[in-house]
Amino acid sequence: MIARIFLALPALALAACGSEAPPAPPPAGAASAPADLPVMGDEVPVLAFGDSLLAGYGLDDGESYPAKLEAALRSRGVNARVVNAGVSGDTTADGLRRLEFTLNSQNKAPALVVISLGGNDMLRGLPVEETRNNLDAMLDELSERGIPVVLLGMLAAPNMGKDYASRFNAIYPAMARKHNAALVPFFLQAVMDRPDLLQDDRIHPTAAGIEAMVGDTVDTVADAIPAEEGAAPPR
């Protein structure tokens, strides 16, 4: 589970600024959505692999990030089937241990893997090199299988200290460059200053928060799907 110490920061910052706050803007991607394109082509399997941010902690069926990502991709004409392989509480070590089994258990090899791991490593203060090495090994495995990756980046909480933060925050851009993975620099960007988009625990995004996160990231995911798998239908 992504823990209170991190996702509570926006609420604490808001309280420090006083009770009077300007009206919040609408969630990213919520306005002026383009008309849906017809879904065409063969099914495109996408594996969403990570922790509670993908598992849908505290949300109803159909409200998780993988479910909403699938809907957003299909609205772009991509015949996506996004498999939710999120496990609450997972660290990168947990992910590395279960990656091979998860890949082998799929009916069809994923056309793309979306990874969100590392937040729990940071909150537990695990060694940065351990996190880096685990992500490196996972990306090596996916590269060997010829599966492209979208890496959903994480940033260290300020209370972890500047030295830890500088080393931790550098992991995701470095891994993306090394393995030619698409990168979302900070997966939680859309909700970090939006306490209204967090659940009552001030830890996990609400359904509206998930919509905002999908709006921030769906273009990156769609662009990372191999052209022969997710080519847009003719217009």
The SS3 of residue 117 is coil
CA distances from 18 to 11, 15, 84, 195, 226 (A): 11, 5, 39, 14, 48
Cα–Cα distance for residue pair 84/87, rounded to 1 Å: 9
Contacts of 75 by beta carbon, 8 Å cutoff, 6+ apart: 33, 34, 36, 37
In the annotation, is 60 catalytic? no
In the annotation, is 42 catalytic? no
Of the residues 42, 140, 201, 223, only one is catalytic, namely 201
Cα–Cα distance for residue pair 35/98, rounded to 1 Å: 39
User: Of the candidates 53, 50, 48, 49, which has an alpha carbon nearest to the alpha carbon of residue 3?
Assistant: 53
In the annotation, is 52 catalytic? yes
Q: Within 13 Å, how many C-alpha atoms sit on residue 233's CB side?
A: 15
Of the residues 51, 52, 90, 136, only one is catalytic, namely 52
Strand intervals (E) in 154-198: 182-184
Strand intervals (E) in the chain: 40-50, 78-86, 112-116, 149-152, 182-184
Contact 195, 202 (CB under 8 A): yes
The SS3 of residue 133 is helix
- Number of residues written out for the chain: 235
Catalytic positions are 52, 201, 204
